[in-house]
Structure 1
Amino acid sequence: MSWFEFQHEAMATTFAIAIADQSEAYAKQAATAAWREIDRLESELSRYVQSSDIARANRIARGETIAIGEDALQCLLLAAEFTVATRHAFDPAYASRRAAAVAGLAEADPARAPAPASTTAGQDSPPFTLDPDAHTLTSHIDRLHLDLGAIGKGYALDGIGALLREWEIPAACLQSGGSSVLALAAPTGHAGWPIGLGDEPAQRSLALADSALSGSGIAVKGVHLQNPRTGRSADRTTRVWALANSAAASDALSTAFFVMSNAEIAAFCADHPEIGAAISTADGQLLVYGRLAG
């Protein structure tokens, strides 16, 4: 299998693109366009860029409403869906100034922990709401702290995947920092892109195509993932992976799976047959669920 590889620094990580079945010159042009799109998305989604929609949202007062762009809106809507689906194991507003109240509620009954954003009434004290028609965000707490780090890179991979398809490049593999992979169609003559899953001695290789795989763990950054249900660091010490149809989904779910128990992960995959999960155990084994168990 032969392809051309390109790298770019953005969003505090290294993005990589492998493009197959194209000339080197055309692949390079497409990769350059992809990097421009990544930089544009960073300017709108990063909380560290002071002019971004997310940084602006983090500066507004309770009751204040601001206009946000299409990408911030769509990424936050996706994030809200995963917050609800994972019963608050994933939350882009986990560090907002309502964490203590949420933590106490979650410890008493995790099922009642409020979801972050909602376009419908009736949710239990969401910290912010979105109006998709008006493209606005309204804060309902004293200090909002949105962080799209656990979904934004996956959203960006999906964005450049769509861009490459517009360039009529079907066979490509996109990576973000080695933790998230989006595989488009497989190169000609191959079942998929070879992607490693798991840790030694139970590591295996996947032939990934038209799917995304993301992993979460503490080996690289140490203990850094917070459990939104409790407000404390996640208890898990081994790595987890999520397989999904989009990189945004796999990115968010791998973070949620790091917080959830093994039983919760198994139940989630049973309820969502399009999702797969893998868990590296303390004794070096690999537990697989859903699509990854097939």
Structure 2
Amino acid sequence: MESAVRTLLIVLVLFLSSPALANWHSDDQDIMGTRVSVTLWAEDDATGKAAVKAVMDEMRRIDAEFSPYIDTSQLSRANRLAPKASAAKPLSISPELTRLIDKSLYYSRVSGGAFDITFASLGRYYDYRAKLKPSERQAEELLPAINYEFVKLDKAAGTLYFTHPKVYIDLGGIAKGYAVDRGIEILQQRGIAHANISAGGDSRVMGDKLGRPWIVGIKNPRAEDGVAIKLPLIDCAISTSGDYERYFIDSDGQRVHHILNPRTGKSTQGIASVSIIGPQGFDTDPLSTTVFVLGVEKGLELIEKMPGFDAIIITAEGKVHYSEGLAPPEALPDPQDR
């Protein structure tokens, strides 16, 4: 009897002292004005929890640095000082902000201005909650300030200045894609091999879901909770821009949403959503906005010139267009039904 009790105690001690079994770990938090979600597989609970926390901490850091709504952010500082700077006395900015602006200007150039971070010169006066558009006076004064060529960046020196006094930039079309990439980098450094990080319409998956692909849904733009398309993804990013994210219907029955055409300063019409699939969110995020503004024909033409990227466009009428690299996917069973 005494021997049996001693054996039981030894087994119990070994069980309690052994590391927790590998498991999925996840969290959801409101950061960067959207819902940030992290799901990952870790070999033990401590590693998993620490990894999730590290990603969320990085998301909060990026928000604090590049939000136009935080007075102490690097972006707010640039918007205050770059219009007053000059070629002779440019504003010094961080390598990270330099990288974000440089990538933004690259997509402005390749798209002929369809992607333009200076849209906010006028765009910041839209209030979607209050259902307000900029006044005619504001539009007349500020529309001429929307032009990416007014943003003068010296990438090597890390300096910036604006050549129009009314220029105001917003990184909302690229920062979340950058943030999910940073989250993946942090997980890779910690030895995580299977993960899914999303920030609103931007997601990046690492590895697979333990032998199965990650299933990422593209929202039905005209249904509150519906999914139009389900995609099986492994090791890639996907970004979706939609006219349903921030919008209101004006007195003329027009949908006024946050994806503005830089040439008009008004909401782009004809497209309901654009999803771009590619290697990293730093590219898929700005490309989804770019293709949305360009429209079906010019948008697909741009994507076909970019190896490694694909697009799914849903028009306002509900018609779906795919880039050549994507065959229309078959309907996938709901994971809950498996």
From the two aligned structures, give the one with the greater helix fraction.
2
Look up the equivalent residue of 2:143 and give its one-letter code. Answer: A
Count of equivalent residues: 271
Q: 1:290 to 1:249 in 2, by over 3 A?
A: farther
Instruction: For residue 57 of structure 1, give the secondary structure of its aligned residue in structure 2.
Output: helix
Instruction: For residue 175 of structure 1, give the secondary structure of its aligned residue in structure 2.
Output: strand
Look up the equivalent residue of 1:184 and give its one-letter code. Answer: M
Q: 1:230 to 1:102 in 2, by over 3 A?
A: farther
Output aligned runs, 1:175-194, within 5 Å.
175-177=198-200, 179-190=201-212, 192-194=213-215
**Offset of residue 30 of structure 1:** 0.6
**Offset of residue 245 of structure 1:** 1.2
**Offset of residue 67 of structure 1:** 1.5
Instruction: For residue 143 of structure 1, give the secondary structure of its aligned residue in structure 2.
Output: coil
**Offset of residue 44 of structure 1:** 1.4
Shifted more, 38-47 versus 146-155: the winner is: 38-47
Question: Which residue is equivalent to 1:5?
Answer: 26
Q: Which residue of 210, 218, 229 corresponds with 2:243?
A: 218
Query: Is contact 1:30-1:167 (8 Å) kept?
Result: yes
The yes-or-no answer on 1:242 pairing with 2:242 is: no
Distance 1:131 1:281 in 2: 38
Query: Is contact 1:8-1:14 (8 Å) kept?
Result: yes
Q: Which residue of 39, 43, 68 corresponds with 1:22?
A: 43
Question: Which residue is equivalent to 1:140?
Answer: 163
**Offset of residue 198 of structure 1:** 5.4
When normalised by structure 1's length, the TM-score is 0.84
Question: Which residue is equivalent to 1:122?
Answer: none
CA RMSD of aligned residues (A): 2.2
Instruction: Specify every segment of 5 or more residues in structure 2 that has no aligned partner in the other structure, as ranges.
Output: 1-22, 123-140, 248-256, 329-338
Higher RCO (CA < 8 A, seq sep 6+) = 1
Question: Which residue is equivalent to 1:68?
Answer: 93
Query: Is contact 1:59-1:144 (8 Å) kept?
Result: no
The yes-or-no answer on 1:271 pairing with 2:314 is: no
Distance 1:197 1:138 in 2: 38
Q: 1:101 to 1:143 in 2, by over 3 A?
A: closer
When normalised by structure 2's length, the TM-score is 0.74
Q: 1:219 to 1:161 in 2, by over 3 A?
A: same
**Offset of residue 237 of structure 1:** 4.5
Q: 1:224 to 1:72 in 2, by over 3 A?
A: same
Instruction: For residue 186 of structure 1, give the secondary structure of its aligned residue in structure 2.
Output: coil
Higher CA-based Rg: 2
Question: Which residue is equivalent to 1:167?
Answer: 190
**Offset of residue 244 of structure 1:** 1.7
Q: 1:202 to 1:263 in 2, by over 3 A?
A: farther
Distance 1:189 1:23 in 2: 19
Instruction: For residue 73 of structure 1, give the secondary structure of its aligned residue in structure 2.
Output: helix
